[in-house]
Amino acid sequence: MPRWEPDARERLVIAALHLFSEQGYDETTVAQIVERAGLTRSTFFRHFPDKRDVLAAGQETLSRLLADGIAGAPTDAGPLDAMAAGLVGAAGAMTPVSREFGPRLQAVIAASAELQQRDQLKRVGLAATAAGALRARGIDDRTADLVAELGMLAFKEAYATWVAADDEQDFGALATQALEQLRAAAVRLG
């Protein structure tokens, strides 16, 4: 077995996801994941502190793309438009592999209370990243927090639509459309 595998991280994620969906999260061990991926335990632990973190593999990239998109919005963009730019930026993390394994990932998370908690923490982390990026644009705390939460709701809706779609829909377009629908709903609140 080679000492270095260029696609090791992705192979570990795919192997873990297959095993989690076949036999359950709790019943899957790190040893089984590395065996399925054709890698070693040391390779696993170079990439992930434990098996729970395998399913959050893209979190850092997603957070960075979201924050970069918000920061890169035109200077005259309002808070929701800056959030839309962040969602478009985050779409860069949504690969064909993400789409292919999305339904399986959702099923694995739904079957485990521990993973549901982890997924909620991921969403909280993304919202905090978005709110921080909005604050860096000079947006007040309350507005930044509200817009970030709306952005996360739009992200969640777009993700559900994206993984369920039969065609190759653009994630960024779905997310901005969902955000626009939430903006319209907020206006109707009065």
Cite the beta strand spans of the chain per DSSP E: none
Percent of the chain with pLDDT over 90: 62
Q: Report whether pLDDT(181) > 50.
A: yes
Q: What is the mean pLDDT of residues 53-76?
A: 91
- Predicted TM-score (pTM) of the model is 0.84
Angle at 188 between CA 182 and CA 190, to 5 degrees: 125
Question: How is domain 8-53 classified at the CATH fold level?
Answer: Arc Repressor Mutant, subunit A (1.10.10)
Q: What distances in angstroms separate CA 61 from CA 6, 89, 91, 125, 180, one per listed residue?
A: 18, 10, 11, 12, 25
Residue 5 half-sphere exposure toward CB, CA atoms < 13 A: 18
State the burial class of residue 88 (Cβ atoms within 10 Å of its Cβ: 0-12, 13-18, 19+).
buried
pLDDT confidence bin for 2, thresholds 50/70/90:
very low
Residue 57 phi/psi, 5° resolution? Answer: -55, -35
Domain with CATH 1.10.357.10 in the chain: 58-188
Q: What is the mean pLDDT of residues 163-182?
A: 91
Looking at the domain that runs over 58-188, which CATH code has it been given?
A: 1.10.357.10
